[in-house]
Amino acid sequence: MNKYRTHTCGELSIKDKNKKISLSGWINKKRDHGNLLFLDLRDNYGITQCVIDNTHQNFKELEKLPLESVIKIEGKVIERTKETLNKELNTGEIEISIISYEILGNTKELPMPVFSDQEYSEEIRLKYRFLDLRRKKIHQNIILRSKVISFIRSEMEKNGFLEFQTPILTSSSPEGARDFLVPSRLNPGKFYALPQAPQQFKQLIMVSGFDKYFQIAPCFRDEDARADRSPGEFYQLDLEMSFVEQEDVFEIVEKLMTNVFKKFSNKKMLYDKFPKISYSDAMIKYGTDKPDLRNPIIINQFTEVFKREDVSFDIFKKLVNKGSIVRGIVAKNTKDKPRSFFDGIDQWAKDQGASGLAYFTIEKDTELKGKGPVGKFFGQDSIKEIMKISNAEVGDSIFLACGKKGEVENILSMARDKIANDLNLINYDTFAFCWIVDYPMFEVDEKTKKITFSHNPFSMPQGNINKIDFSKPLEIKAYQYDIVCNGIELSSGAIRNHIPELMYKLFSIAGYNKKLVDEKFSGMINALSYGAPPHGGIAPGIDRIIMLLAGEKNIREVTMFPMNQNAQDLMMEAPSQITEEQLKELNLTFKKNK
RNA sequence: GGGGGUGUAGCUCAGUUGGUUAGAGCGAUCGCCUGUCACGCGAUAGGUCGAGGGUUCGAGUCCCUUCACUCCCGCCA
């Protein structure tokens, strides 16, 4: 028999009545009646109430034990009387009459309570993460994470994928995010990089003939954190398949996502079949390539309206003459909203750094007219035109943004969320997945005005390879795709370019000559020259999937040992200083700051 | 790198227009209490009001600087 326990704290029931048992766990809570003490013992599996009274020789000692002490209890399972049942606990029909106890682990005074639904500062939670993780909600989140990953593994294996590990110490690559670098002791002056993703390796696995690969892969990117972005490291379900087209990848991943979300959440899936939206459509209709499709609002194009004679809104007209565009969204049935609602949204837009949102409400007495600050600038026919474009009706309001394409897309994509939220249009009990497809191969860097890869340099351009017009690189689309759920980008992937000549050509457009490509992507380009299969894949973000399933807004709530915003581990005190000796071994010296 | 928010007891927070000795709940310590499950009751201890400087007769409160945590932009798929 196990020395510490015969049962866990979550499993005893009325069936075990009168059994002599032992439990081990933490003292979750005590209720001390002076001559009668209730003690809730907690472990990973649940809570069991234990009871002792002053006729017992150990009563005084147990009364004094601080919460979160680890103890072993030996006792007898007693059926609770009808009045004293606790329906909230699985073990609420019974309690343990304590016969003896043993202290297994003492505790100092707690820096934060474990038994409490209060929220604590991140600083204290991260420093004492082992205490924080004992708390119910986050404990359950981490268990959920384990179960989801385990389920994904078995689904992938069922689908014939093989799991492989890829190197953690690899080479730095010029594309993408900033690398974490590791100095090489044996190669002075040279550095490894931690992989931003196993991108090249998974393609090499395909070239090596393994056909279907997956991995729950750690990815390292030295970029600043966000609520949904860990600083430093995160996990992807990295997968790659040979001899496939885009649709084959979609089929596998769509099925997987559906199975995962149906199994681990009660929320409804808005679509059985994920809609496919082209990148350019997404930018026009939603102003972003990660639209929240739970939100019914769609952006409309109104630029032409501002060229009409019966529109006298001069500020916008002048801007349109100079090449600005006008787009807008409809807020349904808002004619009775107070002025503060509209001004609030305009002010909100200004707070976001936009020049504001013009708005008016469509009214009708004898004829159509616009009510609100800019309403008077629109003649009846122009309002009809606006209603035709946007399907707006009398009683609806129009919010308009004017400016450069990027600015307008940006503010309206945010306004879509803001207004839908204010008007309560979003059903939070649903998951709305979609595919964003047909990404452009290249884009122009706003700052440098140079042409760069818009996504992943290894993607396959669309169309007949022999007929691609390389003189118009911005028109080349790629077999590149993202999965978006509820406005969160879950993953991106692509059919890869497995043809070296084409790769050189595309890289040359982005300013890499052949020599540079050979140098920076030697592993890849070399491998593609020895019989590479057509292949493609994708890499859904594990952390974000868990966030959606757990309904958490912050990635730290689904990460066991996260770092803070400054990429520090407050518990382990990483990063830390190293010794002169270590530096010397690595052939490194510090540059003194002034 | 830039912008916003927060910082008061071990924890969560209140603290009015600048005005006497900075409060509450939880936790801790001590006492009372035999059916609680956020048990109840009483008492005690516990404070560099993040730090530094300034204005003022007087600063938790106003100003400046700075630090920490956090959210956002940049960055990042």
Tokens of residue A310, six digits:
């019966």
Residue A391: how many CB atoms within 10 A of its CB?
11
- Omega before A575 within 30 of 0, i.e. cis: yes
Residue nearest to nucleotide B11 (CA to C1'): A112
Q: Report d(CA A553, CA A560) in Å as an integer.
A: 15
Going by the DSSP 8-state scheme, the letter that residue A288 receives in this structure is S
Q: Which helix (H) or strand (E) holds A437?
A: strand A433-437
Q: Which helix (H) or strand (E) holds A583?
A: helix A580-585
Nearest nucleotide by C1' position to the A493 CA atom: B77
| pLDDT score for A594 | 39
CB of A524 within 8 A of CB of A458?
Answer: yes
A68 CB neighbours strand B below 7 A: no
Apex A219 CA angle, A246 and A543, nearest 5: 80
Residue nearest to nucleotide B25 (CA to C1'): A118
Q: Mean pLDDT over residues A543-570, rounded?
A: 96
| pLDDT score for A454 | 86
In tens, the pLDDT along A358-407 reads 999 999 988 899 998 899 999 999 999 999 999 999 999 999 999 888 88
CB of A71 within 8 A of CB of A104?
Answer: yes
Q: Report d(CA A445, CA A433) in Å as an integer.
A: 29
CB of A22 within 8 A of CB of A74?
Answer: yes
Residues 447-476 of A with CB under 7 A from strand B: 447, 454-456
Q: Mean pLDDT over residues A502-525, rounded?
A: 90
A272 CB neighbours strand B below 7 A: no
| pLDDT score for A378 | 94
A40 CB neighbours strand B below 7 A: yes
- Average pLDDT of chain A is 93
Q: Mean pLDDT over residues A3-11, rounded?
A: 97
The model's confidence at residue A593, banded by pLDDT at 50, 70 and 90, is: low
A84 CB neighbours strand B below 7 A: yes
Q: Name the nearest CA neighbour of A352 among A421, A411, A419, A290.
A: A411
CB of A437 within 8 A of CB of A278?
Answer: yes
Residue A105 to residues A66, A70, A550: CA-CA distances in angstroms? 11, 5, 32
Residue A263: how many CB atoms within 10 A of its CB?
12
A146 CB neighbours strand B below 7 A: no
Q: Report d(CA A370, CA A387) in Å as an integer.
A: 12
A354 CB neighbours strand B below 7 A: no
Q: Report d(CA A102, CA A75) in Å as an integer.
A: 12
A177 CB neighbours strand B below 7 A: yes
Q: Report d(CA A153, CA A259) in Å as an integer.
A: 12
Q: Report d(CA A497, CA A162) in Å as an integer.
A: 22
Determine which of A177-186, A299-308, A464-473, A493-502 has the lowest per-residue pLDDT on average: A464-473
A111 CB neighbours strand B below 7 A: yes
Alpha helices, H only, A170-312 = 199-207, 246-264, 279-286
Q: Name the nearest CA neighbour of A114 among A68, A53, A57, A79.
A: A68
A489 bridge partner residues: A484
Nucleotides of strand B within 7 Å of the protein's CB atoms = 1, 10-13, 26-30, 32-40, 68-77
Nearest nucleotide by C1' position to the A113 CA atom: B11
The model's confidence at residue A536, banded by pLDDT at 50, 70 and 90, is: very high
Could you tell me the maximum CA-CA distance found in chain A, to the nearest angstrom? 96
Q: Report d(CA A530, CA A161) in Å as an integer.
A: 24
DSSP string for A333-381? T-TTS-HHHHHHHHHHHHHTTS---EEEEEEESSSEEEESTTGGGB-HH
CB of A396 within 8 A of CB of A423?
Answer: no
Nearest nucleotide by C1' position to the A229 CA atom: B76
Distance (Å) from CA A25 to C1' B36?
Answer: 20
The model's confidence at residue A286, banded by pLDDT at 50, 70 and 90, is: very high
Q: Which helix (H) or strand (E) holds A60?
A: helix A59-64
Distance (Å) from CA A436 to C1' B16?
Answer: 55
Residue A505: how many CB atoms within 10 A of its CB?
16
Say which amino acid occupies A434. C
| pLDDT score for A340 | 82
Q: What percent of chain A has pLDDT over 90?
A: 82
Q: Report d(CA A402, CA A325) in Å as an integer.
A: 6
A31 CB neighbours strand B below 7 A: yes
Going by the DSSP 8-state scheme, the letter that residue A558 receives in this structure is G
DSSP string for A115-175? S------HHHHHHTHHHHTTSHHHHHHHHHHHHHHHHHHHHHHHTT-EE----SSB---SS
A109 CB neighbours strand B below 7 A: yes
Task: Tell whether the model's pLDDT for residue A305 goes beyond 80.
Answer: yes
Distance (Å) from CA A570 to C1' B39?
Answer: 37
In tens, the pLDDT along A340-350 reads 888 888 878 87
In tens, the pLDDT along A484-508 reads 999 999 999 999 999 999 999 999 9
Is the ipTM, as predicted for this complex, more than 0.85? yes
Residues 295-324 of A with CB under 7 A from strand B: none
| pLDDT score for A452 | 87
- Backbone angles phi and psi of A18, in degrees to 5: 75, 0
CB of A91 within 8 A of CB of A13?
Answer: yes
Q: Name the nearest CA neighbour of A546 among A531, A535, A557.
A: A557
Distance (Å) from CA A568 to C1' B13?
Answer: 27
The model's confidence at residue A100, banded by pLDDT at 50, 70 and 90, is: very high
Task: Tell whether the model's pLDDT for residue A583 goes beyond 70.
Answer: yes
Q: Mean pLDDT over residues A85-109, rounded?
A: 94
Residue A51 to residues A72, A83, A493, A519: CA-CA distances in angstroms? 14, 16, 57, 71
Task: Tell whether the model's pLDDT for residue A49 goes beyond 50.
Answer: yes
Distance (Å) from CA A593 to C1' B55?
Answer: 36
Residues present in chain A in total: 594
Task: Tell whether the model's pLDDT for residue A592 goes beyond 70.
Answer: no
A407 CB neighbours strand B below 7 A: no
Distance (Å) from CA A87 to C1' B70?
Answer: 38
In tens, the pLDDT along A207-262 reads 999 999 999 999 999 999 999 999 989 999 999 999 999 999 999 999 999 999 99
CB of A124 within 8 A of CB of A111?
Answer: yes
